[in-house]
Amino acid sequence: TVVWLNSESELRYPTSFAGESREVFLKGEGYFSVAHDEQHPFIVVSSDIYTKVYGTEFNVRSYEEEDVHVTLVQGRVSVKKTEDGSEYTLNPGENARFVESVPEITKVNVNRYIAWKDGYFYFDNVTLKDIMQNLGRWYNVNIEFRNKEAMTYKMHFISDRTKDLEHTISLLNRMKKVTVTLQGNTLTID
């Protein structure tokens, strides 16, 4: 089993797995490629969401407790809210977003959820506020919106995460919707 962790993420696991399951705890975002083991199911616990894995590749994003996403790339997983909740099975190309205890399950372009693992920012019809939160997390900078209306602008934006912050700022400014500047450790959006 291999796990990739995104920025500001943490994975807790025992030094060796004992018992009937292999349970890990995630804060933030992780991409999992899990080896199949029927005798010892792999379980990812994140913000009270339990993802049971049957040998597969999937992404879990839970930076905020009220916005947890489980995206299945291949294989099979089931998801549930709390340990005793009802299980919902995902098919490849589906995303489960929990609202209360029942997930909203939708077909998605998985690249939107996993491009970070391959070194890219990929946002499709996403608010500038969400884009900037991700950039702030990756580049470890603060975000200040002077133009509050710009927070709700929806955009399509792709950038190489291996490039420096100045490259990403120039791409944002090239769209001519806002002006993004770096002042010290703060990105300002006008």
Q: Helix and strand tally (H, E) in the chain?
A: 3, 16
* pLDDT tens digits for range 52-111: 998 899 999 998 877 899 999 999 999 999 878 899 999 999 999 987 778 999 999 999
Q: What is the pLDDT of residue 85?
A: 83
Q: What is the pLDDT of residue 179?
A: 96
Alpha-carbon separation of residue 113 from 126, 147, 159, 172, 182 (angstroms): 12, 27, 14, 20, 27
Does position 181 have pLDDT exceeding 80, yes or no? yes
Beta strands 142-145 and 186-189, pairing class: parallel
Q: What is the pLDDT of residue 36?
A: 85
Does position 11 have pLDDT exceeding 80, yes or no? yes
Q: What is the pLDDT of residue 7?
A: 93
What 3 state SS string does 1-55 have? CEEEECCCCEEECCCCCCCCCEEEEEEEEEEEEECCCCCCCEEEEECCEEEEECC
Query: CA 55 to CA 77: how far, in whole Å?
Result: 8
Q: Higher pLDDT residue, 19 or 150?
A: 150
Cβ–Cβ under 8 Å, residues 46 and 83: no
Q: What is the pLDDT of residue 40?
A: 87
* pLDDT tens digits for range 117-143: 999 999 999 999 999 999 999 999 999
Query: CA 72 to CA 37: how far, in whole Å?
Result: 18
Does position 19 have pLDDT exceeding 90, yes or no? no
* pLDDT tens digits for range 135-178: 999 999 999 999 999 999 999 999 999 999 999 999 999 999 99
